[in-house]
Structure 1
Amino acid sequence: MHGRAAVGENRHESVPKRRPITIGLLWHSLNSGNLGVGALTVANLTIAREVALDAGLSPRFVIMGARDRQRPAIPMPDCQTVPIDWRALGPGGALWRAMADVDCVLDIGAGDSFADIYGARRFSFLLISKLLALARNKPLILSPQTIGPFTKQAYMAPAAFVMRRSHAVYARDELSRDVARQMAPSVRIDLAVDVAFELPFEDRSHLRRGPLLRVGVNPSGLLFSEAERGSNRFGLSYDYARFTRKLLAALQARDDVEIHLVPHATSNGDPTDDDGALCDRLAAEFPAAHRVPNFGTPSQAKSYISGLDLLVGARMHACIAAFSAGVPVVPVAYSRKFTGLFGLLGYDTMIPVSGVEEEQAVALALEALANRSALAEAEAAGMAKVHGLLAGYRNTLRSTFLAVSAPA
């Protein structure tokens, strides 16, 4: 009850005690250097907590994810962490023991890892952890995520088995939904959207529309290093490193723009996948640009991004942060997950994987800068779809939480 007790109310009347529920969050992380994984974790945990509290339950969480000692964990109340490595996955290991203590498991697959494109080792981690939850007879919900691609039967068969045994399966884009339906035609595959659209943040929109346009560039250390090595494993039709430099040169030449270099995925152990290290290099090359310090949490990143007039982003969750904060965004796509996710929301402004060269890609970004008002309107319409797409997921969580927490 909110507010003061009504006059004459029995102030000694006992408040019904909330039933406890322990929720496992599989392939989430509170200390990943990739703020996208952190955004998924904080957002999914926030949604699950809201649903549980609204259902009259008292939730606690067990976060099960990759062992990562790179950075301090994001402080979240009522959370226990179980790092996953080969030892934890073994017979009688930490993950098997942790599964015994939870009432249900929400598995987000680190967003896009339920696929075979990352190799046998990662797929084995994803698969074994799911099988442990099922072996413990815990309701397994595949939270909204990218499903696939799967190209090899050796991966498709066990992935389909997991989906058939899952309590619910949610895809975060239509292509993932279609892939899952083809693999497991007897399974109901529901369409939702990335939970990070609901990541909490501090609104700094008052910083926009100043004398200088605050243009954020979120450069990808991964795409940049791929371009410099000439490997181009994502199949871009243009050189990403040359595009980034040409974009920054074009922005620096304008007298109405303030450039913000915004890192979103950092790594102490892999300099080829470190946006922060790349921002340092680019800040030295383009001294007019402001090098934004590395963020400690995904909500800090989203809060900063909310004060920009435009973001050109190569990390998907930096783009989601901008979109959901009402900041016009130009996603730099490197896989189908970009077109699938933003296409679902009716937002088609992006630099595509193929069909453009560097000059055309720069022109697309500058055109978006001129069309900010129209892009903001498209985002507002897209966010209305987000709330509807996540409503079904929330309903599934509510019914599951109530079922698993019911008195025996």
Structure 2
Amino acid sequence: MKTNSYAPIEAREDGIRIVLAGAPLDNDNRGVEALGTSVATYLAGAPSVERLSMLDGGWGVRTTPLPDSSAVVERIGVRNSRRWHRRESWTRVRIDQALGGLGNPLVARLTQADAVVDLSGGDSFTDLYGPQRLDTVCAPKEAALRSGRPLVLLPQTYGPFTTTDGRRRAERLVRSATIAYARDSWSHDRLLELAGPDAHSSRFREGVDVAFGLAPQRPDDAIAAHLDALAGEVVVGVNASGLLREVSAGERFGLAGDYIGTMTDMVKALVAAGAYVVLVSHVHGKHPLENDSAAFDLIDDALSPSERRRTWRLDPTLRAARLKWCIARMDWFTGSRMHATIAALSSAVPAFGYAYSDKARGVFGTCGTADQVADARDIAGAEAVEQAMASFSARDEVRRRLEDHVPAVVDRATEQLDEVLAAAQAWRAEGSAEVVA
């Protein structure tokens, strides 16, 4: 063993200070928002925490209350920007760190932090989305290490890495982290591969996705009333990913067939089976190439008038906690967005994942339902619809499995945050942390 010494913090009797990166609250992706809201609400409300500073893509430093909570967080804008002279630019942050801070508020918060915790958007610590996205994901991790602070990688997926440079960068960051969590057993294996043969279990841990701990919030009365009026119906939720709707996306992610055609046929089959289908967007905003509503536009155009009358689009502007409240009232759910299905799983709603990466099977596996996932890279069309309908038919049995597994997963979602808080308190008291070489 060796001991890593961290930059000193002025002695104080108050609580610990944490910087949270990789999950901004104002995000068009409700999955990323669910991650940030879950962690921020828990950490900011902990008696031991004096200040929680969240990094986001805004400008300047702002203090705001968390939604539906008495907790308050500090939000600090930082981004990859061509306006490198601005303090919110990562280029400027690197320069200011090298020159002692120069009054940069982010540099000050990093220097004062008892821990820098990072989520990487849950599944963005990969070069699959290109070098610019990887730069954005790595920037706060590298800034934490430059400031000499303990870096904690909260539960997430690691990889895939398709380039030598991307993998080496990830290996360096993982091995420099004081603690790193994976969000399922499959991701834990990938984490250990990056950590190398000397990886020690005290540092590289298996956890669960923090969004399992997101507390649902009731939406406005009109939406709640619409769902209440469906009592007696078999209500199912369908999430289609706008990211996968273009032909180019099929080629990029290696999909087995026509994604929109498959999802359309799935909706048609569910309606034919007597279900009432609620269409659930989980990414909504100003980036049309990823907007789930655009995928539903294509599906809607392919439905007959009678099929359309058996569907309803949930308000795509709903925030993550309110979406979870709605999903929790469904009898079955299917989706391609990972965190849309997590909203179902964590509510013990039987779910079927139709995804394009290995991450879904690992997360479903934490709930004992790894068999409820189909890989869109392997099957499409009639075969995918058949598997989805088999899952729909087995929903009662799957619900029983979830009721057995999910409570422990939800408990683990907060236990791992308690571990981080205890470690941060110890690091502050000692001024160092033991790290296996």
TM-score, length-scaled by structure 1: 0.84
Q: 5 Å matches for 1:8-407?
A: 19-49=14-44, 52-53=46-47, 57-67=48-58, 75=67, 77-86=71-80, 87=84, 88-90=89-91, 91-92=95-96, 95-185=106-196, 186-188=198-200, 189-202=204-217, 210-225=231-246, 227=247, 229=248, 231-254=250-273, 256-268=274-286, 270-286=287-303, 287-288=308-309, 289-347=311-369, 348-387=371-410, 389-390=412-413, 393-404=416-427, 406=429
The offset of 1:352, in angstroms, is: 2.1
Q: CA deviation at 1:302?
A: 0.3
Evaluate the alpha carbon distance shift between residue 224 and residue 114 of structure 1 in structure 2; reply closer, same or farther with a 3 A threshold.
same
Match of 2:123, SS state, is coil
SS at match of 1:100: helix
TM-aligned CA deviation for residue 281 of structure 1: 4.3
Structure 1 counterpart SS, 2:374: coil
Contact 2:259 2:380 in 1 (8 A): no
| TM-aligned CA distance change 1:261 to 1:243, over 3 Å | same
1: distance between equivalents of 2:234 and 2:109? 50
**Residues 231, 139 of structure 1: alpha-carbon distance in 2 compared, 3 angstrom cutoff:** same
8 A Cα contact 1:104 1:138, kept in partner = yes
SS in 2 for 1:62: strand
Q: Does the C-alpha gap of structure 1 residues 94 and 21 become closer, same or farther in structure 2, counting only changes over 3 Å?
A: same
Give the count of matched residue pairs.
Answer: 380
Unaligned runs of 5+ in 2: 1-11, 97-103, 219-223, 432-437
Give the superposition deviation at 1:244: 1.3
Letter in 2 for 1:263: S
How big is the shift at 1:364?
A: 1.8
- CA distance 1:156–1:392, shift in 2 (3 Å): farther
Identity %: 28
Instruction: Give the aligned residue type for 1:376.
Output: R
> 1:89 touches 1:96 (CA, 8 Å); kept in 2?
no
Q: CA RMSD in A?
A: 2.8
Greater mean deviation of Cα atoms: 210-219 or 380-389: 380-389
Change (3 A) 1:264 1:120: same
**Distance in 1 of aligned mates of 2:393 and 2:236:** 12
Conserved 8 A contact 2:346-2:410? no
Residue by residue over 1:152-175, the C-alpha shift from the partner in whole angstroms, topping out at 9 and shown as x without a partner, is 332233322222221101011223
Q: Secondary structure at the match of 1:232?
A: helix
Moved more, 321-330 or 241-250: 241-250
- Tell me the CA shift for residue 126 of structure 1: 2.6
Aligned AA for 1:224?
R
Equivalents in 2 of 1:98, 1:327: separation in Å? 40
Residue of structure 2 equivalent to 1:7: none
Report how far residue 407 of structure 1 moved.
Answer: 9.8
Asked if structure 1 preserves the Cα contact closer than 8 Å seen for 2:174 and 2:195, the reply is yes
Q: Secondary structure at the match of 1:81?
A: strand
Question: Matched residues in 1 for 2:154 and 2:420: separation?
Answer: 10
Structure 1 gaps of 5+ residues are 1-16
Task: Give the residue type in structure 1 aligned to 2:322.
Answer: Q
Pairwise CA distance, 1:395: 4.3
